[in-house]
Amino acid sequence: MMKYVFGVLLCSIFLVSGCGVVEIESTSEEHVTSTDNIIEEVTRQKPEKKEAKGIYLTAYSAGSVNKVDKMIDLIKKTELNTIVIDIKDYSGLILYDSDVKEVNELQVEDNRLGDVPALIEKLHKEDIYVIARQTVFQDPALASKKPEWAITHVNGGLWHDYNNLTWVDPTRKEVWEYNVKIAKEAIALGFDEINFDYVRYPSDGLTRLAVYHDNVTHKNDTMRDFFEYISKELEEEPAWISVDLFGFVMERFDGINIGQRLVDVVDTIDYVSPMMYPSHYPVGHLGFQNPALYPAAVIENGMKSGAPYFEGKKAEARPWIQAFHIGARYDGEKIRAQIDNVEKYTDGGWLLWNAANNYSTAGLTLTEES
């Protein structure tokens, strides 16, 4: 591909514009740099697929040179090869310097990441796969600035969940378009993948009092259409796309009243990341009083139940797994138990979640150099 483009550029020593001919000075250093940029832009393709083994970083962490350097050191010592970075979190704020028109008009930017292309280049030099995490429908910033795009309360005003957070309306196509613009910009900055989170209807709060722009279309149908939309809009972009789903979608296939079904994503999305934290399963799940104490059983049950939905499909499963101390102390043994039971059923990899971004070598395979 690169040789072909370069050949075309060499053959195009003269550009015809109207009736005139413009000669290109191909010997100047400035032109060589410009040509290199053209080649890089034209030839950038989707990255090679890999079995991602990753960690999550907030924008604050990823904006810290010291923290990033520590994570690079950890990755060098272990089987890890991926970092997921917030570009738009639960607040709805855009966490980098954005040129998206709506972001600037609505003043919903808070640049915590600094120089994103430089950060990505630094990580790529270490052969680290870089994913941008982007929340979608939980978006208090956008809801406050564009209340007509928000979920409203039956008695007026904006609807709030149990954490007093507001959401934008999944049935508003303007919200879909807004998020795709942000995703395309993040891809242009160099991210290898966009990971969409909160791609669902609200699950907590007085949801019966929530009012949507479209109260007729079934939640499952709305979300299926959304997944198809982002797939179509981003399919030609040089990055993969993934979505985060509730862990229960791997064993419950009715949409669980939030519009998340495996059947609606496996044909359109590249990677599906169910959040399979054992501590988040209810008392009595698989007969366990405390499922967090049994990570191997919880993960294997979910992966085994959901695996048939991925057979012969576009999507690969790549779950989020627990690396935090809720329900039980998650030491190396429990982390490894999750990893081993994920890897029985998928080559898509796995992602460690720790909201405080505290990671160690616990449970991870060490490299020969470490």
- Identify the structural domains of the chain with CATH numbers, from first to last: 1-43 (no CATH), 50-353 (3.20.20.80)
If residue 82 lies in a helix (H) or strand (E), which one and from where to where?
A: strand 82-88
Structure tokens at 351: 């992602």
Per-residue pLDDT of the chain (370 residues; tens, 9 = 90+): 333 333 333 333 333 333 333 333 333 333 334 434 444 555 789 999 999 999 999 999 999 999 999 999 999 999 999 999 999 999 999 999 999 999 999 999 999 999 999 999 999 999 999 999 999 999 999 999 999 999 999 999 999 999 999 999 999 999 999 999 999 999 999 999 999 999 999 999 999 999 999 988 999 999 999 999 999 999 999 999 999 999 999 999 999 999 999 999 999 999 999 999 999 999 999 999 999 999 999 999 999 999 999 999 999 999 999 999 999 999 999 999 999 999 999 999 999 999 999 999 999 999 976 6
What is the value of pTM for the model shown?
0.88
For 139, residues 6+ apart whose C-beta sits below 8 A from its C-beta are 88, 92, 166, 167, 168, 175, 198
User: Three-state DSSP class for 147?
Assistant: helix
CB neighbour class for 37 (10 Å; exposed up to 12, middle 13-18, buried from 19): exposed
